[in-house]
Structure 1
């Protein structure tokens, strides 16, 4: 059993808007990359059993922080479960030669309606040991802030 990392944020938008941003490839390219990265979706199949491939590029690759190359993290993401507008479950596998990044990490995005919008909780289970917990949780928080900005300004 691997490690679990998580994050949460109240987003001032209805669950349907947040769910839509989780399943729109153009939106994902904008909000999913944490600060210091940009993303590109290379394949897209939004259904249970489908998925996508995303390449995340470090804006400053000094020191070679990437898992796939000095400047990139490539990840294959499968959709394990889609329950509109409440939950998206993804299974992510990083393309990396280092066994510390091997394995399948499950990301569960849970959306709950509140009086002020949507409480979004992200839980990452079976996080590969090569991913630093503090960095990962900071990345989750950054992605959630980007998601909030994206859907709050779109509405």
Structure 2
């Protein structure tokens, strides 16, 4: 059964600044990795049809083994839809030999201007069954909190 996970948070910045943080590889490596991980971008082309590869490394792999290697998750993403200041839709695949992580997850980032900043809503459709709902919810919330902190500067 296909699963959808979602999270949202108001971040203290206008939609154009939030959007800029979503399409800048240096910004992404600063805020996207959830707590307990670091990130590195191997390629990045933020336009419809473009793609990126991010390597996420666990600071302590004993608590959460990686999907691609013992301490690593590798994400290949394609930009499906890009509407500056409004929405980014990505088709995301995890690099893994484990069939529990197979399949393409669709990540939709919606930005809505609100009092105090921008409501950032993330929806992940077709989440692979190997990703626990609890861990995914914590990861999405952590990334959103990181984004809010990044944009406060």
Separation in 2, partners of 1:134, 1:111: 24
Residue 55 (1) aligns with residue 67 (2):
no
Paired residues in the alignment total 153
| Deviations 1:55-91, CA, capped at 9 Å, x for gaps | 0000011156100000000010100000010001011
Q: How does 1:12-27 map to 2 (within 5 A)?
A: 12-27=12-27
Other structure's SS at 2:126 match: strand
SS, match of residue 112 in structure 2: strand
| Deviation readout 1:2-48 (Å, 9 max, x if unpaired) | 10001000111000000000000000001000000000000111110
User: Does residue 1:33 correspond to 2:20, yes or no?
Assistant: no
1:64–1:12: structure 2 CA closer, same or farther, 3 Å change rule?
Answer: closer
* Structure 1: gaps (5+ residues): none
1:108 counterpart = 2:116: no
Match status 1:79 vs 2:79: yes
Alignment correspondent of 2:150? 150
SS at match of 1:141: helix
* Deviant stretches of 4+, over 3 Å: none
CA RMSD of aligned residues (A): 0.9
